[in-house]
Amino acid sequence: MLLLYIVITVLLVALFFYWWYKKTDKYPPGPKGLPLLGILPYLSAFPEREFGTWSKKYGPILSVSMGWQDWVVLNDYDVIIETLVKQSEEFHERPYVRYLSMLTANGVVFNLGGPKWRSHRRFGVGAIRSFGGSKGVMEKKINEEALHFTQQLQEFEGKRFQIQNILTNAVSNVICNIAFGRRYEYDDAKFQNLITCLLTQFKISSDWKTNIMIFVPFLCDIPPFSWHVEKSMKAMQPIRDMITDLYEEHKSTYDPKDIRDIMDGYLQCFQCDENDFVFKDIQDFFIDMFVAGTETSASTLRWGLLCLLLHPYVQDRMQEEIDNIIGKDGTPSLSHRDNMPYCCAVVHEVLRFKTLTALSVPRRVTKDIIVRGFHIPKGTKIMTNLWNVHNDDTYWKNPELFAPERHLDENGKFTNSRHVIPFGAGARVCMGEQLARTEIWLFLIAIIQRFRISVDPDDPDPPSLSQGRSGLVYVPEAYNMIIHSR
């Protein structure tokens, strides 16, 4: 009898290993990994880099096992366009990821898909255009905030300081102005509490534990991951409370003949749909706008300033171009971009060089499809390796270097490479891309127009471009800088 048990056990183990390693011939190839763990033991804190290396062996469409889950990773520009753009309907859904759904399941960013997501997405894109992008309103509001911001920076003249908090103040105020018709003073106690919560959420989303929980969801219930979840939920609550207060205020003063901001627009758009209208929808929609909208622009600007801090010659060329086109006292405008090729190249290179969402937010295939001869079954989870697109050495020469000149042609004209896609592609491309690009341009130009930024030679912990945290987003570690008025 014992022998029979041994034989059965051996057969079951053999069948398990066969099932684990066997893939159909038409399934995308990839590293096998270990039973139960998959390729998780082989990943660093920057999994996009391992995926990029494996894609050179297995091809641009890569399959990997992450714990018990099978994922497909898209690793180059052409295959991303072929799938996410040309087959956008099949690639527009999100997979259910427990941790992400706990944050804002009913908004836009992590919403799985379906009618509610489509309604939110359609409204959001139109609202940003209507309440921010038309007739220069967005540009005007951003420039007003940039002026407050640069005036505040003057208080740090000649001193070593960190720019993260004050920059987050300014960028979040832009969102508040456009979305809620409200601007806060930087020393407002309630506003500072929100900024503290935002910065906490930024730190959580850029922590390696966030990535692990996406692929191994049961860890959400096990310390220290469960503490990570609790901290994230706690940081989100004051933001939910703020949106609740603003909603009640807008509802009590709402006038359909005077739509003042995006929240008024939301009330106008969805008030007739009482059966589908749920208050959590409003909370999640505006949390997505407030948190994601602040994080992307503020972190990109911090990376950009760090690049300029460590490449003074780039700053010199920017200052020269700004002086020639805008002047030292002029107001930056998007209309200046056509005559400022080097500054355009700098912004483009920052977006390439430091990919904020290296693996983007995951997708899910809505039906069985064939891509380049490979069969991808319905329900397969998809990662988009934007980092590899931005560091593909078959397209970029020395991609590990910060070199704005790579985006200029032989005549010094700016070339807007389509291989720079920091906001994603297809149906889930970032809803706030227009706003983010406008903020990054106007703030960066306003700072370099008014200040010279430099490294403190006596800093015991000098800044470095290699010091960053990678989770859902890739953000720089806090760094010191010195500014001098020009």
pLDDT of residue 202: 83
Give the 3-state secondary structure percentages of the chain, helix then strand then coil, rounded to 5: 55, 10, 35
Q: Are strands 381-384 and 69-74 parallel, antiparallel or unpaired?
A: parallel
Structure tokens at 233: 């939920």
Among left, alpha and beta (phi > 0; psi -120 to 50; other), residue 166 is alpha
Q: Does position 19 have pLDDT exceeding 50, yes or no? A: no
Residues 314 and 319: their CA atoms lie apart, in Å, by: 9
CB 96 within 8 A of CB 405: no
Residues 297, 438 contacting (CB under 8 angstroms) = no
The answer to whether residues 375 and 27 touch, using CB atoms and an 8 Å cutoff, is yes
Q: At what angle do helices 433-450 and 137-153 cross, to 10 degrees?
A: 40
Tell me what the mean pLDDT of segment 47-58 comes to.
96
Q: How many domains does the chain have?
A: 1
pLDDT of residue 49: 96
Confidence of residue 1 (pLDDT cuts 50, 70, 90): low
The residues, any chain, with a CB within 8 Å of residue 74's CB and separated by 6 or more, are: 60, 61, 80, 83, 84, 382, 383, 384, 385
pLDDT tens for each residue of 315-367: 999 999 999 999 999 999 999 999 999 999 999 999 999 999 999 999 999 99
Identify the weakest region by mean pLDDT among 167-176, 179-188, 278-287, 402-411: 278-287
Structural domain boundaries, residue 359: 2-104+111-485
Task: Show the tokens assigned to 447.
Answer: 């700072």
Domain holding 97: CATH number? 1.10.630.10
Residue 467 has pLDDT above 70, yes or no: yes
Would the pTM of this model clear 0.95, i.e. be above it?
Answer: no
pLDDT at 393: 94
pLDDT in tens, 190-232: 899 988 988 888 888 888 888 888 888 888 999 998 998 999 8
Mean pLDDT over each residue of the chain, to the nearest integer: 90
